[in-house]
């Protein structure tokens, strides 16, 4: 699996996969669901249905329910994601922050500190064995606690680190979407790419700038809509 794809959310990875298997008319025939499943761990009919119902990126063909179509926005978003995946050479491997964020988000969604290895592996798009060595290293660093046959949970140190990165993402996303008027999907992508490579100094300045410009009802004038 491509290393950069592992840094993306499951929804982003699914969108890229569908983009890569689309036909020349930007459609995907889902009739042979089992065959498609073998090509990607991110694909399932349930995941596709959720993306169709929750976003305006995909839709089912009115005349044939097996045919999935990209909307214009979905096609553009998938193209951007795919291009970023193929050119993002700075992401040679996952960072500890990606693991911490995955545990953090899973803990919040479950309302439980403990996350099983299987849940974490699925969230990251990896196997249990693939994440085990990294988990041991992070446990030695004091950011995770491992409980045999139960799973992992964030230590206070790990929780603070995860919250810090999550806050970076929110500030970057706000700046791109609210200030620069980039559409929300692309703003999320850009924030995801930059969150691990932005200094705290810059984040603090952006947060202050966000507050000042939003409160002053700043309105960026664009020469053309390039969203």
What domains sit in the chain, N to C, each tagged with a CATH number? 3-87 (1.10.10.10), 96-154 (1.10.10.10), 160-215 (no CATH)
As a whole number of angstroms, the longest Cα–Cα distance in the chain is: 58
Confidence class of residue 60 from pLDDT cuts 50, 70 and 90? very high
Confidence class of residue 58 from pLDDT cuts 50, 70 and 90? very high
For the chain, give the mean pLDDT: 84
Q: What is the pLDDT of residue 3?
A: 37
Strand, coil or helix: what is 61? coil
DSSP-assigned letters across all residues of 120-159: HHHHHT--HHHHHHHHHHHHHHTSEEEETTTEEEE-HHHH
**pLDDT value at 85 more than 50:** yes
More reliable by pLDDT, 143 or 41: 143
More reliable by pLDDT, 9 or 211: 211
What is the rounded distance in angstroms from the CA atom of residue 66 to the CA atom of residue 154?
42
For the chain, what percent of residues have pLDDT higher than 90? Answer: 40
Confidence class of residue 192 from pLDDT cuts 50, 70 and 90? confident
What is the rounded distance in angstroms from the CA atom of residue 71 to the CA atom of residue 73?
5
């Amino acid at each position: 699996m491509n290393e950069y794809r592992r840094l993306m959310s499951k929804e982003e990875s699914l969108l890229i996969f569908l983009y890569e298997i689309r036909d020349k008319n930007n459609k995907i025939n889902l009739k042979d669901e089992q065959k498609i499943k073998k090509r990607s761990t991110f694909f399932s009919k349930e995941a596709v249905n959720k993306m169709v119902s929750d976003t305006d990126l995909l839709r089912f063909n009115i005349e044939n329910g097996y045919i999935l179509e990209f909307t214009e926005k979905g096609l553009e978003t998938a193209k951007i994601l795919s291009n970023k995946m193929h050119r993002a050479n700075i992401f040679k491997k996952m960072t500890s922050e990606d693991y911490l964020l995955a545990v953090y988000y899973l803990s919040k969604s479950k309302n439980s500190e403990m996350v099983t290895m299987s849940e974490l592996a699925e969230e990251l798009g990896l196997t249990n064995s693939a994440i085990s060595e990294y988990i041991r290293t992070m446990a030695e660093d004091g950011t995770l606690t491992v409980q045999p046959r139960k799973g992992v949970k964030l230590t206070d140190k790990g929780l603070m680190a995860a919250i810090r990165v999550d806050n970076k993402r929110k500030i970057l996303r706000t700046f791109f979407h609210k200030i620069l008027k980039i559409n929300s999907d692309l703003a999320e992508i850009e924030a995801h790419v930059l969150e691990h490579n932005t200094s705290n100094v810059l984040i603090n300045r952006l947060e202050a700038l966000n507050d000042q410009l939003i409160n002053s009802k700043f309105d960026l004038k664009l020469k053309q809509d390039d969203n």
